[in-house]
Structure formats: structure tokens, C-alpha cells
Chain A
Amino acid sequence: MSYTVQMENKKSETGQRDLVKVNVRRTSIKVISILIFLFIWYLVVHFNIQWPLQFGNLPKPTEIIITWLQKFGEIDYYINISVSLFRVLAGILLGLFTSVPIGMWIGLSHNKISEGIFTILELFRPIPLIAYLPVAMLLFHTIESSIIFITLIGAFFPILINTMDATRQVSPTLIQAARCLGSGRTHLISRVYLPAVLSQLFTGLSVGVSASWMGVITAEMMSGKTGIGYATWQAYQLMDYHNSIIGMFTIGILGYVSVAFVRLIEKQIIKWQ
């Protein structure tokens, strides 16, 4: 048996080396593809291409990069980013604390109340985030809370559906085994159901984070006075195209980094797969 363990250690060592290689390859593919994209962008603007789209109207990527570098020195840029980040974070945390218990409860119970609540939730789920905005404005005293409400809705449904689904799929033998070892109801939920659904919960969370970003940007564009979404829309209305493009990319990067961050936490927590 010690032999099997050694074999496994050896396997994981070579596995790690392969992993480094794969990572280097992936990163270089990413960098090269971005450079190619920027180069093509430069060419279509430089030669004033007007067909099939009016590429010539766009600013050159070099101009964007120069303006962006200046932007890094402006405090407003950081304030707008932090404001949006805070709203997304608040929405996601509120979403987690509401959707995980509700999702588990619906997944575990087979009664009329949970079925009824699920039916109501299913009616709200297909509504696009932007359509919640008028109701959110009516419901909340401040614009701030209505924006956070929109981000909460964005995070809520993907986490809910994934948690519910995963709860239903927890192996019955695992539950029986835990009960035979002395596990009671609360212990079962915290020590068996929760870790068992964690992986799928994270899948829901990454989808939820993206949806939250979409929600916050929409809400800020429609009704905000602060935030990166507001700044991007404001720049467009002032015909400051450089800054609206910078805003657009900033939003993209923020969304990308947030999802990557969620995946990183997932890897730290879920070590057994």
C-alpha cells in the first residue's frame, strides 16, 4: 500500500510540471491574441475602413492607451471603480445569504409551501435586470439601495438554482452514512449538504457575479450619479469617446477579474476534486 501512495506522489509531481507548462502556454496565447486584436484595430482605423462597419470613426488603440495611462493618475477613476465594486460586493453577499438557504430549503423539502415559493421565483427569474429598475426605485428610499437591489437580483437566481439543484442531487447513501455515524438535522445540513453542494454553488456564484456586474452597470447608466457605468455613459453623452471606450474596457476587466477571483477562492476551498 505504501507503494500506491508513492506512485500517487510521483504522479502528482510530474502532474505539477505539466501544469506549469500548460499555464505558460495558456498565458502566452492570451497575450498574443490581445496584441493581434489591438494591431487589427489599429490598422482598420489607420486606413479609415468604412465597410462593413464604420471602423474609421473609432479612436486608435494607441490614443486610448495614452488617455488610459493619464486616467490612472485621476482619483475620480478609482472612486468610480470602488463605488461599483462596493455595489457588486454588497449585492453578491446579500444574494449569497438569501439564495443559499432558500435554495437548500426548496431542494430539501417536498411540501406545498416550497413548491409555491419556487413557482413565484420562477416567474421572476426570466425578467431582465433592467426591467426591475422602476420597481426598485419605488421600493427603496435611496438610489444607492435600489442599485444594490438590482445587483442582488443578478446574483440571487443563478446561486439559487444551482444550490437547489445540487441539494437535490446529494447522494442518499451519503446522508444515510452520516445519520448512522450520529449526524442530526443541523449537523447534516452544515457538514454534509453544504460541502456537497459547494462546487455547484461556486458555479452559480461565478454566473451570479457576471450578472451582478451587468446589473450594476445598467442601473448606474440609467439612474446613477456615480460608478463606472455612470462615468462611461456620461463620457458618451459628452462625446468623449476615448473615455467611454476606456470605461467599456474597464467594465470588462472588472468582470473578468471578479470571476477569476471567485474561481481562485473556489480552488482554495475545494481541494478534494
Chain B
Amino acid sequence: MSVEIHNVTKSFKVGTEEVIALDRISLSIKEKEFLCLLGPSGCGKSTLLKLIAGIDQPDDGEILFDGQRVREPSKERGVVFQDYALFPWLTVRKNILFGLELAKVDPHKKKSILDEYLQLFELHEAADLYPNQLSGGMKQRVAIARALCLKPELLLLDEPFAALDPFLRQKLQDELLRIWNVEKITFILVTHDIEEAIYLADRIVVLTPKPGKINEVIPVHLPRPRSRTDSHFIEIRNRIIRLLNPQSTNDSEVTNKITMSAGIP
């Protein structure tokens, strides 16, 4: 698995104004890596994720997946959407099976894959419920299971925990790391939560808006499980805060502002 992003530019028309969401972005993503795209809203991080998925096409530059140019979505690149995007008319079981049925997997194997993921995400008891009967956390589990059961080489997650309360969010972050260890594939996660990025990522790509550019790529070498109160953890956090707010000198003030906007109490 390899992802190469070369000089990718993407702009949108907002009314009559042309907004550059991504400005000449280049990045290469390593095999089995946990990568976080971090930045404030409007920095183009979700746009970049959609381009990698193949949902949208860049205006300029190219994205290569295993050496092949990305032109359309593929089941080799699983996507988990921010609002879960579960099919409300299908039960949990059938939501997970949606892709498998299209892939024409033989029934016996289909059942074993389904069982494997119901097990992995502790969804057995909810298998016959409809999405509107589930809590936000359970919906997110189903969405991840649905993307993973097609055995993608890359999983793209667009702010997967943004709508969840902080306690549940931390629990699901641990769960995500556990899944990542089981699956041994590349994860790319978009977030605006600095601590989430440091807690999860091998590398953090810090993006800044107007126009959307890569500010810096920060490797996180801390051993897992990571502690949010560890001095190295806080050091990285302060560094990112300074990157995102270069004018500000008062660290604590900035911290408050940013964590509040990220939804952490």
C-alpha cells in the first residue's frame, strides 16, 4: 500500500468568490501508518480526505494509490463519514453486508466476515436493530465495521468522533487503536482536536487555512498507550498550538481557546 500526493490543488466556488481549499499539497503516506490530518475548520483537511478516497477530483496535481492515479472510489480505500452515513432502512447486519454483497463474496465467507466484525465491534446484540435505534457511539462502530469488512488497504476517517461526548470519544479512540492493531492497515484520520491527534497518530500533518497548506508534519514517537498528561505529550501539544496561532505568545490563553473550539471541557 502506498499513497503519493503530488502538488494537489483544489478550489471551490463559494458564491462568486473562489476559495482555495488546498494549495499545492504534497505528502506521502507510509504503509500501516496512523496519520492524522489536523487543522481548524476551513483548512481543507476533509477535502483532502475526499480526494484520497476518490469521491472528488483535484483541480491540479495527482494522487497515486499503489502507483495508480485515483479517479473514483474503490473498496480498497474504506471511508468512515462524519455523520456515519448509515443506510437508515437497513439493519446493522445489512449495513455491514452492503459492500460484501456487491463484492459477490461467497455466502459462507460472507457470514464468517460478518461474524468477525460483529465480534470485533461488540455489535452482536445490535445486529438486527436499525440505525435510528442506536446511540452515536454504536453508529460509529457500525460505520467503521462496514468499511473494514471489505478488507481495505487504507481506512479514511472524517472527524469520526466529533459528534460524541468527550468520555465516549476517549473510549472510542482506544477502541480505534485496538482495531488498527488488529487490522494492520493504514489509517488516515481527519480531526480538529489536537489531543486526539497526538493520542492516536504516528505522524500529524498540521494544515492551516486560506489557502489550505501543510504547515508542518510532526512525528509522534511516544509509546502507546499514551498519557495525555505526559510532559512530551504536552510539549507536542504546545508546539502545535504555536503553529496554529503564530501571533499569540500567551500559551495558556491559546490552549483554552483551541481546546474549547475542539469540544474538550
Contact = CB atoms under 8 A, between A and B. Distances in A.
Do the two chains belong together in a single complex?
yes
Interface of A: 1-2, 4-5, 8, 171, 173-174, 176-183, 187, 191-192, 195-196, 198, 270-273
Nearest to B91: A272
Interface of B: 50, 53-55, 72-75, 77-79, 81-83, 85, 87-90, 98-99, 102-103, 122, 125-126, 129-133, 135, 138, 146-147, 150
A5 B129 contact: yes
A195 B89 contact: yes
Contacts of A181: 75, 98-99, 102, 146-147, 150
Nearest to B78: A180
A173 B85 contact: yes
Contacts of B82: 173
A176 B85 contact: yes
A269 to B, nearest CB: 9
A1 B122 contact: yes
B150 A182 contact: yes
B88 A272 contact: yes
Nearest to B79: A180
Contacts of A176: 50, 53, 55, 73, 79, 81, 85
A272 B89 contact: yes
A5 B134 CA distance: 9
A184 B134 CA distance: 28
Contact of A180 (B73, B125, B131): B73
A4 B135 contact: yes
Nearest to A187: B102
Contacts of A273: 88, 132
Nearest to B135: A4
Nearest to A177: B85
Nearest to B150: A181
Contacts of A191: 98
Contacts of A180: 53-55, 73-75, 77-79, 147
Given A173-B81, A180-B53, A272-B131, 8 more contacts: A1-B138, A5-B126, A173-B82, A174-B85, A179-B73, A180-B74, A182-B75, A192-B87
